[in-house]
Amino acid sequence: MSEKKLQHIAIIMDGNGRWAKERGLPHLKGHREGAEAVRRVVEMSKEYGIKYLTLYAFSTENWKRDKEEVDGLMDLLLEFLGTQLEVLQKNNVSLKAIGRLKELPEEVYEALMQVIEETAENTDGTLVFALNYGGRAEIVDAARKLSEDVKAGKIDSKSIDEAMFSRYLYAPEIPDPDLMIRTSGELRLSNFLLWELSYSELYVTDVYWPDFGKEDFSKAIDCYYRRDRRYGGRK
């Protein structure tokens, strides 16, 4: 049994496109249903006492998709930020975002910052959107900022260790995920939280993200508590 309370869940929300394809629907319909799943999982996280929920919403690689799909995703994100503010406020959940955010379309960036500001005082939980995010990009950005501080004489390079490096990541105030869930059955990290997931428990389900519900969420949490987390040591 795991001895550590589950406080942070990260999710790779995969399968929107396949969900739509199997139903003869356009990809964006799958993404729209996926947005509803986000609303559900935010409410379920509060119910289960999960303090942090990080969702892989848009990766640095997703720009390679068809322009129509990318534009549709950005429109959907704008819509989500507008309609889900009430859900976040009702559940006393704050919104944060990680990634190369300033490379997002200006309208999306401004709406994102507005919701982050309006929910900043909420204390029951934190929803983290990984937007224009890549795990390798995060490590590169951290290394760049750290090297600038070394060059400026603010840090002695000999004092650099893992704890110091972690402080240069996008959200150093948020603890590493205890559990990472991936939907749709794919067995890879897809450049998600490469540093932070080093000792996280991994749970993969064949369920597509739009269909991910309370029973699936409960199964993942139950699985986590059945595991023995040793962090490389012995007991």
b/e per residue 27-47 (b: at least 16 CB within 10 A): bbbbbbbbbebbeebbebbbe
Of the candidates 16, 62, 211, 228, the residue annotated as catalytic is: 62
Question: Are the C-beta atoms of 27 and 73 separated by less than 8 Å?
Answer: no
CA dist., res. 208 & res. 46, Å (int): 22
Q: Which amino acid is at 65?
A: R
Active-site annotation holds for 149: no
Of the candidates 14, 16, 132, 216, the residue annotated as catalytic is: 14
CA dist., res. 48 & res. 190, Å (int): 27
Active-site annotation holds for 75: no
- 112 contacts: CB under 8 Å, gap ≥ 6: 77, 81, 95, 97, 101, 104, 129, 131
CA dist., res. 69 & res. 58, Å (int): 12
Show the DSSP H helices in 48-105 as ranges. 67-83, 85-90
CB atoms within 10 A of CB 119: 19
b/e per residue 203-220 (b: at least 16 CB within 10 A): bbbebbbbbbeeebbeeb
Q: Report, as residue numbers or ranges, the catalytic residues.
A: 14, 62
